[in-house]
């Protein structure tokens, strides 16, 4: 980056907010609903999800759970019909997702203060792989809808991160260029890789479930409140 950034993009899930129900509890509920003995945890789920490229939620779920069954399910679980285990997990996940209240989220510590701080001096954009209705419900619950100058969601038929297109849509909306823009997110594949594909400066904010394999970020922070100081130090 040749100068100080003027624009900061943020991922939403596990960057600015987290589910109110811990991930491990969600995974346990998934196995219970599917009537399948547990064979992966939340970290495994995160890792596998970060490796998948799919053009629909249904295809994503099949590849996600099919991969986990092939990689990790012991013979006592997979039996002679691993596809049946995959179908059970896909169905259970869809049922639980339909029942889950999208607004049942909590803000990552410091999220509101960070956005308010940076919003005074920078243009802010949200770039999320989640669908519009579900992600907007989260933003409304967190009172963060108006924190951004632009919001880019996953739209049917449109590419998602790490494709550069969502970042390009965000930059067009705020009249910014890649060279003056930073993106903050928790996924090395979607956020760091996507930022690099679009020519943005990446800031990686991992959590305990974030896979450690992927593109090398330009910067790493261990907590969200570190971001404003880092951004303002860029270009000095």
**For residue 56, pLDDT beyond 70:** no
**For residue 69, pLDDT beyond 90:** yes
* 90-136 per-position pLDDT tens digit: 999 999 988 888 888 999 999 999 999 999 999 999 999 988 999 99
Looking at residue 2, its pLDDT comes to 58
Number of helices (H) and strands (E), helices first, in the chain?
Answer: 10, 8
Q: Work out the percent of the chain whose per-residue pLDDT is above 90.
A: 73
Looking at residue 43, its pLDDT comes to 87
Q: Work out the percent of the chain whose per-residue pLDDT is above 70.
A: 97
14: left (phi over 0), alpha (psi -120 to 50) or beta: left
- Contact at 8 Å (CB) between 66 and 85? no
Torsion sign across C-alpha atoms 74, 44, 101, 173: negative
Looking at residue 25, its pLDDT comes to 93
CATH value of 7-19+104-233 in 3.40.50.1000, 3.90.380.10, 3.30.1360.230, 3.40.720.10: 3.40.50.1000
Closest CA to 182 of 46, 61, 5: 5
Stated pTM of the model: 0.85
Query: Distance between CA atoms of 195 and 185, rounded to whole angstroms?
Result: 9
Looking at residue 55, its pLDDT comes to 64
pLDDT, average across residues 131-145: 94
pLDDT band at residue 54 using 50, 70 and 90 as cut-offs:
low
Structure tokens belonging to residue 17: 């907010």
- Contact at 8 Å (CB) between 44 and 214? no
* 173-221 per-position pLDDT tens digit: 999 999 999 999 999 989 999 999 999 999 999 987 777 778 999 999 9
- Contact at 8 Å (CB) between 127 and 152? yes
Looking at every residue in the chain, the average pLDDT score rounds to 92
The CB-based long-range contact list for 62-70 (8 Å cut-off, 24+ gap) reads 62/86, 62/90, 65/89, 65/90, 65/93, 68/39, 68/40, 68/44
15: left (phi over 0), alpha (psi -120 to 50) or beta: alpha
**For residue 11, pLDDT beyond 80:** yes
């Amino acid at each position: 980056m040749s100068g100080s950034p003027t624009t900061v993009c943020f991922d939403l899930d596990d960057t600015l907010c987290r589910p109110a129900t811990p991930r491990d509890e969600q995974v346990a509920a998934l196995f219970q609903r599917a009537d399948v003995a547990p064979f992966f945890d939340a970290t495994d789920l995160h890792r596998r999800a970060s490796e998948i490229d799919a053009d629909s939620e249904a295809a994503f779920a099949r590849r996600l759970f099919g991969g986990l069954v092939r990689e990790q399910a012991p013979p006592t679980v997979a039996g002679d019909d691993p596809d049946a285990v995959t179908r059970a997990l896909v169905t259970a996940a869809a049922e639980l997702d339909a029942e889950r209240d999208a607004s049942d989220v909590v803000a990552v510590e410091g999220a509101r203060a960070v956005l308010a701080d940076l919003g005074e001096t920078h243009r802010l954009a949200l770039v999320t792989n989640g669908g519009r209705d579900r992600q907007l419900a989260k933003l409304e619950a967190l009172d963060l809808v108006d924190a951004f100058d632009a919001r880019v969601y996953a739209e049917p038929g449109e590419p998602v991160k790490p494709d550069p297109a969502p970042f390009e849509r965000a930059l067009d909306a705020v009249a910014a260029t890649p060279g003056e823009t930073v993106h903050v997110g928790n996924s090395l594949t979607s956020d760091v890789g996507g930022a690099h594909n679009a020519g943005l400066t990446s800031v990686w904010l991992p959590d305990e479930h974030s896979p450690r394999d992927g593109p090398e970020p330009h910067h790493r922070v261990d907590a969200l409140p570190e971001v404003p100081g880092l951004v303002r130090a860029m270009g000095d």
